[in-house]
Amino acid sequence: MFSYPPVLYFGVFMKNFRTLLLSSAILLCAVFTVEAGTRVFVEVEVSKGDSTEKSVEVVTFDESRFRIDFPGAGKEVTDQSPYIMSVNGGEKWVIGDQSKDGFYCTEMNTEEFFRSLGEQATEAMEFFNVTAETPTVKKVLEEPGPDIEGFKTTHLQIETNASAYAWFLFIKFEYSVKIIDDLWYTTELDVHPVRKKWINALTQSGNSLIDKMFADFTAELPGAVLRKESVIDITNVRKKETKTQKKRSLIKKVEELSAAELDKVFVMPECKAMDDDEVQEKAKTLFSADKIML
Q: Residue 10: its pLDDT value, please?
A: 47
Q: What is the pLDDT of residue 101?
A: 63
Higher pLDDT, 242 or 214: 242
Assign 139 a pLDDT band (cuts: 50, 70, 90).
very high
Q: What pLDDT score does 282 carry? A: 57
58-102: pLDDT as tens digits: 889 888 888 888 886 667 887 778 888 888 888 888 877 766 666
In a domain? residue 116 = yes
- Residue 25 domain flag: yes
Question: pLDDT tier at 143 (50, 70, 90 boundaries)?
Answer: very high
Q: How confident is the model at residue 193 (pLDDT cuts 50, 70, 90)?
A: confident
User: Is residue 61 domain-resident?
Assistant: yes
Query: What local confidence, expressed as pLDDT, does residue 180 receive?
Result: 93
Average pLDDT on 204-213 reads 77
What is the pLDDT at residue 190?
76
Residue 293 lies in a domain: no
pLDDT of 206 = 77
Domain span at residue 270 reads 6-288
- Whether 145 maps to a domain, the answer reads yes
Average pLDDT value for residue range 116-131: 72
> Taking all residues of the chain, what is their mean pLDDT, rounded to a whole number?
76
Q: Comparing 211 with 32, which gets the higher pLDDT?
A: 211
Least trusted range by pLDDT, from 7-16, 163-172, 273-282 = 7-16
The DSSP code sequence of the chain is: --SS-HHHHHHHHHHHHHHHHHSHHHHH-EE--SSSEEEEEEEEEEEETTEEEEEEEEEEE-SS-EEEE---TT----TTS-EEEESSTTSEEEEEEEETTEEEEEEEEHHHHHHHHHHHHHHHHHHTT-EEPPPEEEEEEEEE---BTTB--EEEEEEEEEEEEEEETTEEEEEEEEEEEEEEEESSSEEPHHHHHHHHHHTTSS-HHHHHHHHHHHTT--SEEEEEEEEEEEEETTTTEEEEEEEEEEEEEEEEE-HHHHHHHTSPPP-EEP-HHHHHHHHHHHHHTT----
In the chain, the number of structural domains is 1
Q: Does the pLDDT of residue 162 top 80, yes or no? A: yes
For residue 255, being part of any structural domain is answered with: yes
Confidence class for position 274, pLDDT limits 50, 70, 90: low
Q: Is residue 294 part of a domain?
A: no
Q: What is the pLDDT of residue 103?
A: 67
Mean pLDDT of 263-276: 74
pLDDT at 293 (0 to 100): 35
In a domain, 187, yes or no: yes
Instruction: Give pTM, 2 decimals.
Output: 0.75
Asked if the model's pLDDT at residue 118 lies above 80, the reply is: no
Q: Looking at residue 159, what is its pLDDT?
A: 93
